[in-house]
Structure 1
Amino acid sequence: MISNKPRKQRYRLYNAPLHKKRKWISSHLAENLLLKYDRRSLPVVKGDTVKIMRGNFRGHEDKISKVNVRDQTVEIEGVTITTAKGTKIAKPIHASTLLIMKLNVTDKWRRRKLESGLSETTKKEIEREAAEQLKVLEAEKKAAEEAAKAEEKLKEETTEPIKEEVTTEPSEEIIEPVAKEEIPEEKIEKTTAELPKKKPSTKKTPSKKTTKKKKEEGET
């Protein structure tokens, strides 16, 4: 039994399981979609084009970039606020203030739910829309990959050291080797004879008797 007390209602809303919160993040459909799908509202999905109906950003129409199930909020491209530091952050918006202008039909599970109870012509239209949207997504992915590769190449080029090719041209002048002068043997003998001879060491080695006397004197 649901309580009438707002305190308990808020408590249940904040502490509800995620599978219930996901259903509550729903918005109304535009008139053309309402007639096409025979539904009044649908849960919002990333990629849906949405129009803000209330608040400071009223009238802004763009795609949903993120769905936060825990906080039951949605982030839309182009809707940002500036912090005290000066950085821009996406402003979370409640799904009840939005109007769905175009659905993202790339998910097959969502298509099955939408197609249930509809005519075959509308089913074919939904499949065509899904094929077109998938092509657009593939093209965007390829463009993003190419941009990432180009950035990597630029980084590699900037990080690699530039090797300068040093070209050494052969010199035309040929240097002749200088002939060494031969020293006669007589001069070599004279220089060796003139060198001073080392004198033998005249230090006397102490005899055994003197060493014994010194030891005896030390003991006394």
Structure 2
Amino acid sequence: MSIKPRKQRYTLYNAPLHKKRKWISSHLAENLLLKYDRRSLPVVKGDTVKIMRGSFRGHEDKISKVNVQDQTVEIEGVTITTAKGTKIAKPLHASTLLITKLNVTDKWRRHKLESGLSETAKKEIEKEAAEQLKALEAEKKAAEDAAKAEEKLKEEEQKEPAVKEETITPPETLAEPITKEEIPAEKVEEIPVEQPKKKPATKKPTTKKTTKKEKEEGET
């Protein structure tokens, strides 16, 4: 790589992804350094890390996302508020982190870690991997059970019949209203219906058409 900063930046931003992935590495804690005989490793989703610099210094939690394109890492619990008020994950550089616990569920990563180690160390790694896999399965089952419980609640809410609205009936009156049928025939009087009078038809005045000759004779 060139000494010029301009060329160094160019290579960093335009490097292929397989190289960028290796550069997203962090130092191992002292106990892991002695155990795996390594100074640093590329971080993976699920690794437990500790922030060593910045406003979140001292925070320790699992990695939730690794962005290879931007060469940044997102950690659970590390968020910032936007201008709108929503909380989003704050991207961090891997160089500011310290790995305190490795995620060894991936067999390819285990194979790389076990190379050059003793048999006892390999057995410890396999045992740790089995424990982590069991924990992952338990988390998945818990999530599935929670999802099923939510679905059941929704189905029960849909099946429940709608509550019938109670109609309030008015109290019975002492004197019932008298209908027309109950009135005696003597009291019922026939009301004469007046028919509308027809208007006499009016004749329109007729006008005679005058010819040119009649007009000339009249003028003379």
Instruction: Normalising by structure 2, report the TM-score.
Output: 0.72
Aligned pairs for 1:127-146 within 5 A: 127-146=126-145
Q: One-letter code of the match for 1:136?
A: A
Secondary structure of the structure 1 residue equivalent to 2:66: strand
Q: What is the aligned partner in structure 2 of residue 195 from structure 1?
A: none
User: Could you say what the CA RMSD is over the residues aligned between the two structures, in angstroms?
Assistant: 1.3
Q: What is the aligned partner in structure 2 of residue 49 from structure 1?
A: 48
Unaligned 5+ segments in structure 1 are: 166-220
**CA deviation map 1:140-173 (0-9, x unaligned):** 00000011111112222333451579xxxxxxxx
* Equivalent-residue separation in structure 2 for 1:108 and 1:57 (angstroms): 32
Aligned pairs for 1:157-176 within 5 A: 157-160=156-159, 162=161
Q: What is the aligned partner in structure 2 of residue 184 from structure 1?
A: none
**Of Structure 1 and Structure 2, which has the larger fraction of its residues in helix?**
1
Q: One-letter code of the match for 2:88?
A: I
TM-superposed deviation, 1:47: 0.4
Aligned length: 164
* Equivalent-residue separation in structure 2 for 1:156 and 1:61 (angstroms): 40
Aligned pairs for 1:112-131 within 5 A: 112-131=111-130
Q: What is the aligned partner in structure 1 of residue 95 from structure 2?
A: 96
* Equivalent-residue separation in structure 2 for 1:139 and 1:54 (angstroms): 34
Q: What is the aligned partner in structure 2 of residue 5 from structure 1?
A: 4
Q: One-letter code of the match for 2:45?
A: K
Unaligned 5+ segments in structure 2 are: 165-220
Q: What is the aligned partner in structure 2 of residue 16 from structure 1?
A: 15
* Equivalent-residue separation in structure 2 for 1:24 and 1:128 (angstroms): 29
Aligned pairs for 1:200-215 within 5 A: none
**CA deviation map 1:69-121 (0-9, x unaligned):** 00000000000001111111000000000000000000000000000000000
Secondary structure of the structure 1 residue equivalent to 2:151: helix
Secondary structure of the structure 1 residue equivalent to 2:88: strand
1:111 aligns with 2:110: yes
Q: One-letter code of the match for 2:64?
A: S
* Equivalent-residue separation in structure 1 for 2:162 and 2:27 (angstroms): 63
Q: One-letter code of the match for 2:2?
A: S
Q: What is the aligned partner in structure 2 of residue 72 from structure 1?
A: 71
Q: What is the aligned partner in structure 1 of residue 204 from structure 2?
A: none
Q: One-letter code of the match for 2:75?
A: I
* Equivalent-residue separation in structure 2 for 1:74 and 1:42 (angstroms): 14
Q: One-letter code of the match for 2:102?
A: L
- Matched residues, percent identical? 88
* Equivalent-residue separation in structure 2 for 1:85 and 1:163 (angstroms): 40
* Equivalent-residue separation in structure 1 for 2:104 and 2:67 (angstroms): 20
Q: What is the aligned partner in structure 2 of residue 186 from structure 1?
A: none
